[in-house]
Amino acid sequence: MGTHMTTKPALRIGIIGGGISGVALALDLCRHSHLDVQLFESAPAFGEVGAGVSFGANAVRAIAGLGLAEAYAQVADRTPEPWQDVWFEWRRGSDAGYLGASVAPGVGQSSVHRADFLDVLASRLPAGVARFGKRATGVAQQGEEACVRFTDGSDYRGDLLIAADGIKSALRGHVLEGLGAAPAAPRYSGTRAYRGLVDSQRLREAYRAAGVDEHLVDVPQMYLGPDAHILTFPVKQGRIVNVVAFVSDRSEPNPQWPQDAPWVREASQREMLDVFAGWGDAARILLQCIPTPSHWALHDLAELPGYVHGRVALIGDAAHAMLPHQGAGAGQGLEDAWFLARLLGDPRACHGNLGELLAAYDALRRPRACRVQRTSWEAGELYELRDAAVGDDERALGATLASRFDWLWNHDLEADLAAARARLGWQALSHCA
């Protein structure tokens, strides 16, 4: 950023939120000399709650496109050979009877511990890009500048603010108000989840003692039942099995979570086992290996009418928080990051075309992310035998699950990017004024 007369001022980009999407985007953008990038995180250091996070083939491609394939490979887990292409095997909860499998060639079940992945990403950020203890309280726009205020009394002014601050985003309300839309608060789905990490050797021995097939330890499993389902997949190079046991209450059309109740708490093993009392040996022995599960109230967002207002854009869970039933939430945030990084990192991106660039982001990312939100909810209905067309018909269930995720995993992000560049008139090289 010299002072020579012909040097354009750098685009000042502020990223609010240091989760996986925000850090991945910052990493890519800070490589470009025409961009001045700052990342603001509310916590005193980078950190993620939660256990395993799953990535489909589309997300693994986005990670590679962001230049993070090697970083991801350091900490990622995959289904072991010879089942390396299996995403999940589908089984009856009552007796672990086999219903079918979903196969993702070349990827299988690709997963990572959230905190491990974030650590690897954050360690690659250049010094001075991230600022901590910065909790956003609100944002204002004047002309072609956006200003975000923080609880410590400081503020940041930039040409573009990217809100990557999660489902409870402090900036989403500003975008929706600017679009003349109602605010979108997180909504309780009616589904709760018990989570735990199990030592795979302990589970293997417990299965062996009960005559349960040890194959269930090594390969990702989904046990299906009415209004409940349990998923397992190996992490930490197979030493640990990540377990999530879901249960849904469908008695209320608009379930409410008490405002003062935490979304995450510790639960007793007895509470969890009571929910799955009628389930088969494989499921119950698995849950008996979790002494103190955590209990999560699952929330998502309604589909938003827009992700951009002026010089403020939403990405990741701030834009499209979804239920975890397709393992697609973090992946959509990474697709957002990849897409914005390709556009903003282009030397043709400048103050003069920022509005059109953000309009292209909204037009091409939002329909896909909304569809993934919608189908993530539908997947939960399917797993819990509540899908209107399939119900508890096991043959139809197996056939549906075999191919249901192909559109999600095989999406052509490069085609979306080409469409965005066409909208911007960037097929041929042109220069900003």
DSSP result, 114-170: HHHHHHHHHTTSPTTSEE-S--EEEEEEETTEEEEEETTS-EEEESEEEE---TT-S
Pairing of strands 136-142, 52-55: unpaired
User: To the nearest whole percent, how much of the chain has pLDDT over 90?
Assistant: 88
pLDDT at 1: 46
> Running DSSP on this structure, what letter comes out for residue 405?
T
Answer whether 66's CB lies under 8 Å from 338's CB.
yes
Residue 104 has a pLDDT of: 92
What confidence score (pLDDT) does residue 3 get? 46
For residues 72-100, give the mean pLDDT: 94
Q: Which of 78, 172, 192, 195 is catalytic?
A: 195
**What is residue 274's predicted lDDT score, i.e. its pLDDT?**
98
Active site residue 149: no
pLDDT at residue number 51 = 66
Tens digit of each residue's pLDDT (9 = 90 or more) over 254-283:
999 999 999 999 999 999 999 999 999 999
Q: In DSSP terms, which residues pair with 91 in a beta bridge?
A: 98, 223
Cα distances from 149 to residues 85, 142, 260, 395, in angstroms, run 47, 14, 26, 55
pLDDT at site 17 = 97
Q: Is the separation of the CB atoms in 189 and 374 below 8 Å?
A: no
Query: Of residues 355 and 81, which shows the higher confidence score?
Result: 355
Give me 418's structure tokens: 């080409």
pLDDT in tens, 386-414: 999 999 999 999 999 999 999 999 999 99
Would you say residue 290 has pLDDT above 90? yes
Structure confidence at residue 429 (pLDDT) = 54
- Give the mean model confidence (pLDDT) for residues 309-322: 98
pLDDT of residue 48: 67
**What's the CA gap between 226 and 123, in Å, rounded?**
44
**Considering the chain, what is the average pLDDT of its residues?**
94
**pLDDT, tens digit, for every residue of 108-158?**
999 888 888 999 999 999 999 999 999 999 999 999 999 999 999 999 999
Q: Select from 76, 80, 98, 77 the least CA-distant residue to 89.
A: 98
- Average pLDDT for residues 74-98, to the nearest whole number? 93
Place of tokens 């009392």: 277
pTM value? 0.95
Can you give the pLDDT at residue 428? Answer: 56
Instruction: Report the distance separating Cα 348 and Cα 352, nearest Å.
Output: 10
Question: 5-33: per-residue pLDDT in tens?
Answer: 457 789 999 999 999 999 999 999 999 99
- pLDDT value for 5: 45
* SS (HEC) of 158-207: ECEEEECCCCCCCCHHHHHHHCCCCCCCCEEEEEEEEEEEEEHHHHHHHH
What does the pLDDT read at residue 50? 62
Fold of 11-78+111-186+302-383: FAD/NAD(P)-binding domain (3.50.50)
Look at 105-109, 217-221, 225-229 and tell me which has the smallest mean pLDDT.
105-109
